[in-house]
Structure formats: C-alpha cells, structure tokens
Amino acid sequence: MPDATDWRERFESYGLLWGLLLVVGILSVAPLARLLAEGIAPQGHFSAGALERVFSSAATWTATRHSLLTALGGTFVALAVGGVIAVMVALTDIRARNAFVFCFVLPMMIAPQVIALAWLQLFGPSSPLLKALGVAQTIGGRNPLYSPQGIILVLGVQYAPLVFLTLRAGLRALPGAMVEAGLASGAGPITVLRTIVLPLMTPPLVAGVALTFVSCLGNFGIPALLGIPANYLVLPTLIYQRMAGLGPGALAEVSVLSMLIGFIAIVGILLQDLMLSRRDFRVSTTSAAARPFELERWRLPVEVALWMWTTLVLVLPLLALALGSLVPAVGVALSAKTATLANYEFVLFGHDAVRRALFNSFSMSATAAIAIVAIAVPLAYFVVWRRTRLLKFVNFAIEVPYALPGVVLAIAAILLFLKPLPVVGVSLYNTVWIILFCYLGRFLVLGLQPVIGGYHQIDRTLEEASQIAGARLARRLVTIIVPLIAPAAAAGALLVFLTAFNELTVSALLWSSGSETLGVVFFSFQQGGDSTYASALGTLTVAVAAGSMLSTLLMADRLPAGVLPWRD
Amino acid sequence: MARLTIEHVTKSFGAFRALDEVSLEIADGEFMAILGASGCGKTTLLRQIAGFDKVDAGRIMIGDSVVSERGRHVPPERRRIGIVFQSYALWPHMSVAENVAYGLTVAGVKEPERARRVAAALTLVELEGFAERRPALLSGGQRQRVALARCLVTEPSLVLLDEPLANLDVNLRASMEDEFARFHARTGTTMIYVTHDQSEAMALADRIAVMDSGRLRQVASPSQLYREPADDVVAAFIGEGMLLPVDVRSVDEGDGTCDVDLFGRRVKMRCGSQQKPGARMRACVRAHDLTVVAAASPGVDALIDRAIYQGGDFRLEAHPVVAPGLHLHLTVAETSTLRPGQAIRLDVADGWIIPAAGT
C-alpha cells in the first residue's frame, strides 16, 4: 500500500490530537505555570520580599480567616439543604418533581451578585415583605445581611444545588436491589436510609462538599456585595481591593494572595481524595434504580414544606429584586402610583456602558460557548474512545482552572499578558481578549463534561461502521459524530454561555473602559448606590437565564440523561 | 484476491490473553463461521481482521497484502471490507438510502452511478420502497437488511458478520438465515460469520472454526465437526456430546472402526486412521446413539435421574450404574412410561474416539 495515504492518516489523527493538546496547554497550563513562576521569582528575580510583605500583614490573615469561616459555613448550609432535598427528590414519590428541580437549581444559574442583591432588597428598608410584616428597617438602618452570617446564608442558598446535583446523581446510580435487600431484612425506610443509602453515598457527598467548599471559597459576587460595605473582607475581595487601589503595581502581592487561596482550594480537593481512598464504596450490581419510597400521608406536608422553602429562598428574593427595580429612587415607597419602568429604560437605552457591556458579555459568552464546543467535540472523542495515559493529564489540566477560584486564573492571565505578546508585539492586557481567554480556560470543563457524557451514550459501532465504509477521521467527525453529539454539545454550549454571561469574578479584575461586562456594570451600579438600576439589570439577567433554561426543555428528550442539571 | 490468511495471531488485554496463536486460512468465496461461547475470543478475532485493534504478534493477510502485523497496521477504513454489526449500527440521522450510499460517497462515486447502485442494493435485500425512511421506523429484520445492503453496496471482497441474528426473534432468524445463504450463493463473497449459536453456524457455513479460551479448537465442515470432534471441548460443545471412558482394544485399519470396551461391554465405534489401541481413552456418544433395550439384551445398565417432557418426546437423564458421576441423556417416545428412579439397559450403537483423549 502507498505510504502517502498512511502519512495522511497519521497526520489527521495525531495532528488533531496534538493541536488540541496545544490549545489546552495554552488555555490551562500556561497561565497557572506563569503564576507559579511569579510566586517564586517576581519579575524574573528570586525574591522573598513580596512573600514576606503579604505574610506579615494582618489583613492577609484576617481575610484568610474570613474566607475559611464563610466558605465552611456556606458549605454547611448547602450540605444540609441540598442533602435533604436530594434525598426527598430522588428517593420519594413527591409530585411535580420537574418544576421543583427547576426552581431549586435556578439560583445556580443566576449570577451570585444578583442573588446577593435580591436578598439585600428582601431585607432592605423598602422591602415589601418586611413592610407587610411591620418590621421594615428605617432608612439608614443597617441591613442584617451586611454580615458574615448574611454571606454564609446566601452562599448556602446559591450552592445548595451543587450538593443536590452530585448527591442526586449518586442516588440514581444506587441499585434498587440494595435498598430492597435492606427492607427485606426487616429494616424500616429510615433505618435503610441511615445504614445503607447514606454510607454508600459517601463519595458523591464528599465530592459535592469539596466542590461546594471550593466554589464558596472562590466566590466574589456575594462577599463583594455583602462584605465590602461592612468592611468584612475575604481573600477574593481583598485581592480585588488591592488591584483596584494599586493596579499592576500590586501584582507581586496579589500573586502571592491568589496562590494562598489556590493553596486552600487544593487542600480541600486533596482532603476529598484522601477521604475517598480509604474505603471501598464500589457498588457491584447493576439492577434497576431504587423504587421511590411512598410517603403516603406525609406526602402533602413534605411537598408543602419543599415549596415553602422554594418560596422563601427563591421567589421572595427575586420578587423583592423585581419590585426594587420598579422604585423610582432608593427609599421611595413602592405603590401603584410610584411604580416606574424608568430604571429599565435607563439601563437599556440611556447608559453607554450598559450597552457596551451587553454587547461584550453577549458576544464573549457566545464566542466562548462556540469555541469551547468546537474544542470539546474532538477532544472528548480522544478522551472517551482513544484512552491514553496522556489524556488523564489533559483531564486534570482542564479541571484545575475551573476548580481553582476565579481570581487565581484572572491574576495568572494578567501576569501572562501584561507585557505585549512576543513576536507579534500586540498586548491583550486591558482588552476584551484577556477576558475571553480566561472564559475559555475556565469554562472549558463545563462544555466538555456534557459532551463526554454524550459520547458515552453513543454506540461506538456507529463510528466503526463509517470507518469500515472507508471514511477517515475528519470525515467521520463531520458526517457521523457531530450530528450524533449535537444535542449534548448544545447543552454544553448553553452551560458555558449562561455561566460566562453571569460571570463577575474574572472580569472584575480584568475589565477596562470599553471592555466592561454585565457583571462589572451591575457591580459598579450597586457600589455607586444606584441599586434601582442594579435591580433592573439583575431582573433582566434572571429573565434571560430562566428563559434559556426553559427553552432547553423543548429539546430535553433528545439529550443524554443528566446533561441538563435543571431537569429531573 | 479475497483469501484471508491469519498466522499465529496473539492479542492480550493486560494479563488476559484473548487470542493465543490463532492461525486460520479462509479460501476465496468461502463461508466460514467462527463459533464459540461468549468470551472465547471470537469477537476479538473479528476486530483484528477488521483492523479496529492492533495485533500483539502474528500476521493477517487479505489476498496477498499484509494488513496486520507487529509494526504494520492498515486502518479499517482502507481494508476494503464490509461488516454487519450485531447492533446494526445504522446512523439514526440519515435515511435508509443515505445510510446505504455513505460508502459510495466516501469512495467518490458520483451520481447517477451512486443512486443506481443504492437502488440495486436495496432491491437485492427487498427494501425498494424504504429508501426515504429513517432507521428508527424500521423493524428489526428490515434494519438487518439495511445493514446488509450498506455493507454490500461497495462490493467488498470480504464481509464480516458479527452475531447478526442475535437481536432478532426466533421466527425472523430462520428467514434471515435463508437470506444470508442466498446472498452468499449469489455474490460469491468471502464471508466470516461470528456466532455463539451452533445451529446457525451448521446451517450456513462451509466450514466452522470452533474457538475456546482464545484458541482455535477445530476447523472443519459442519458434519465432520459433529461426527468427528477433535477434542473434549468440541465434543461437549457441539451437539451436547457425552464423553464416556473407553479402552480401545483393536483398530480395524480398513474401515476406520475399532472395538472398544465401554463399562465392561464390547462396542464397535469409529476412530481416526492414526488411532492406536490403548486404555483410558474417551469416546464421544450422541443422544441418538443410545436406545433403551430389553433387560435381557446386552447393554449398559443405568438409573434414570430425570424425565423432562419436551413436546412430542421425553428427554431422559440418567447415570451408568457402574459410574454414578457420569451423565447420560437420550430421547424416548412420548408413550414411554419410564420414570425417575427406574433402572434401564442402554444399547450404544455408535461413538467416536476422541483423538486427543488422554492428553
């Protein structure tokens, strides 16, 4: 056989694989390596100066303490709420499950800073709820959410869906026979839950807790809105203030700070690995999923309790946010007479920065979503169907930028792009491109996971059949694999889009005039005391998120199970 | 051109040896079945022939060109073979005609030639009216035929069939078996048919290769496989043969028979031309070689363990009185009144001395 075609064969396969690895290397590995280098040798010279300054500063340790306290507190609230609700949804026969799951998961798809503002409105001086109860604050009174307890509460509500989703996935994989064997041995449902189900659920619970802890630790929007006014700083807000105050001059210090927070996150992840490696949790049988426990006379009370919880933590805050957006000015009582749409008019048409931010956020999120799916579809092909040792490392490299707090990647990107790019001489710093770069690196894993899930559900013989028909890799990808993976890829693209659209952590550190994002504009409205504008903008983003989530339910039947987190 | 040569092919997955020095020669136009229980390595062998895996050692040749050996691997897309998958593997996003046309499009065949050949292939499998349907709307048998048409439209020199009937119901299997047989007769393509079902293999194949634990046990025509199994495994697997201990007293060189001693009785059996007399050999005996005879006639005494009604007749399971650890089975008429616990005397009419017995 002629060697030219052999060569082309190899070129297609290895060329594609190495090209993808190069992209992952640039997006994920390069910035973190650069950050690490900065910590050891700032500006290229080995020096302990920055390290010493940071670690001898009282502010560093106060912020670290605050970070640990709020992250652990938020994780605890999320675990309690998400755990109970996952057991109820996955193991009992409550009705209207899809609607409930949608509402429960919604906060995760809304920007944290918007959720924080919604809660502030709920407890603020013009809160319709508190007014109705007659306990509203007087203007100038202190909002109770400007406190560590407030941060913990809102973090817990925001991330309870994370615990819920990991635990529910585990409960679904639990073979029904294990539960039935327990019942047949004479144990009641509560005993079975305590002695069989929960012990077997240790891996998803621990994984969910670790994920939640890392997310709480890295969250910027909530402590920024609730902590900064009370001068209660956590590490991400401390880094933000240093950068805002000093600009690139503070880089040596904030690099050390971001490595500190990265270190705490990695300790959390390693603790998870350690806990899971010490016992065998493998489930051996493959029988059908557990049949739901019948709650019988308890069903209605449980359903009422679940929906009351939803009303309390979702409907009321969002209602307060929406009502807050109708008030003409902060402090004016809302009535049919005073209600106005002027705030919407202003944020949509009257303000240049908002228009720019809308365009920036929309185009960057869409670009990130499309580019990530374009990378994820061929990459997942190699990860799922051509397993090699190399790809284990790739998986790790993709997960790290997402697992680490967003400020870490943002600082790393600044270090990487502060100087103009070599050879071409163009600088990405202070442009939208540095933000887009971070979106690609940070959210790649969000797009990759549904696509990997999709590959696992495709019968590989479909690809082999086209291979037998004579199609080379490029043609197989285009004619067979892409059409089959399209629904999962669309779900992945949507997850990336929504997350990037709501994002503030990265862009708060990277924005410049002209490259504002929606998150940044929202945050500066709120910081500047224009909470009515912020409420209007927040209400709009909630509507966009809920609308896109609802629209995906139309194609839900064509998606692999578990790709859409908001669907039961 | 389409001769397939497999020489000493070995393939391991970790410590598990899925194929162990397999050698097999398949002639041009032959219909070869590869038969074995699940996990015997037959699908692994098929995947080596198709080129989905790389062999660890040995060599595979299609015609005169080497397609697999250590350090050389022609990818599946350039082996010019056809496969019908167990799952059919029809592309759900394409119509029947698009599925069938795919290989022609890849090969650069232009319209109207392509449409003509697709129509011809669909006619061949009697699916003329179904060109625009989606695979999801077809029945199991129709999908099977689309898969067959798709595999044959490019006129491959070698067709691999991976348990193609396993997902069909019993009635459909018989008619699809017919289809394959007619197909092979008409096209003269070399076909390799992997199956765990010996009746399928017997009905279709010119020759059958029996596999077990990654090794080829015997390659022979269906009747030879049944009448003259090469070893214990083949004897027990094919036709549920019984293995009975015998001492070969004398071999008649002329007609391939021998006199053996079975449970103290003298019986005439068949054997290979190389067979030597000797003690402690094994004979393969079939159910229809055993008949119940009157207590006064010569024969082997046995006790009945079970009588299983199977519609029209009974299957008797018994053990020899002198060897309670052995299992015998035979078929008796429905009118028989024999019941478990009863003693019977059995006449052994025929048997085959396993050549490898004692090794």
The residue extents of the domains of chain A are 13-47+354-529, 48-313
Say if CB A239 and CB A37 are below 8 A apart.
no
Q: Do A468 and B82 touch (CB under 8 A)?
A: yes
pTM: 0.80
Q: pLDDT tens, A549-564?
A: 888 877 777 666 666 7
**Which of B65, B76, B87 is the closest to A459 by Cβ?**
B87
Alpha carbon distance A536, A230 (integer Å):
24
Min Cα–Cα distance to chain A from B92, Å: 8
- Comparing A13-47+354-529 with A48-313, is the CATH topology the same? yes
Give the pLDDT of residue A38. Answer: 78
Tens digits of residue pLDDT in B141-154: 889 889 989 988 88
CATH of domain B232-353: 2.40.50.140
B151 contact A CB<8A: yes
Torsions phi, psi for A382 (to 5 deg): -70, -40
Using a CB-CB distance cutoff of 8 angstroms, which residues of chain B are in contact with residue A4? Answer: none
Mean pLDDT of A359-385: 92
Nearest to A386 by CA among A460, A489, A497, A283: A460
Residues 6 or more apart whose CB falls under 8 angstroms from that of A291 comprise A176, A179, A180
Q: pLDDT tens across A411-428, in order? A: 888 888 888 777 777 788
The token pair that represents A114 in the structure block: 């918007």
Topology of domain A48-313 in CATH is MetI-like fold (1.10.3720)
The CA distance from B103 to the nearest CA of chain A, in Å, is 5
pLDDT value, residue B185: 86
- Domain positions in chain B are 4-227, 232-353
CB atoms within 10 A of CB B275: 21
pLDDT at A2: 43
Name residue B68's beta-bridge partners.
Answer: B60, B73
Which candidate, A77, A407, A400, places its Cα nearest to that of A218? A407
Taking the C-alpha atoms of residue B143 and residue B114, their distance in angstroms, rounded to an integer, is 21
User: Would you say domain A13-47+354-529 falls under CATH 3.40.50.720?
Assistant: no
Q: Please indicate whether, in this complex, the C-beta atoms of A469 and B91 are within 8 angstroms of each other.
A: no
Task: Give per-residue pLDDT as tens, A274-306.
Answer: 777 766 665 554 556 667 777 778 888 889 999
Query: A524 or A179: which carries more pLDDT confidence?
Result: A524
Task: State mean pLDDT over A341-368.
Answer: 87
Asked if the interface predicted TM-score (ipTM) of this complex is over 0.85, the answer is no
Nearest residue in chain A measured CA to CA from B86 = A461
Distance from CA of B175 to the nearest CA of A (A): 24
Pairing of strands B57-62, B4-13: antiparallel
> Taking residues A350-364, what's their average pLDDT?
88
Q: Which CATH architecture has domain B4-227?
A: 3-Layer(aba) Sandwich (3.40)
Neighbours of A297 (CB within 10 A): 6
Comparing CB atoms, the residue among B83, B91, B92 nearest residue A468 is: B83
| Mean pLDDT to the nearest integer, A212-230 | 91
Report residue B254: phi and psi, to 5°.
Answer: -70, -55
* Residue-averaged pLDDT of chain A: 83
Q: How confident is the model at residue A258 (pLDDT cuts 50, 70, 90)?
A: confident
The band of A235, judged by pLDDT with boundaries at 50, 70 and 90, is very high
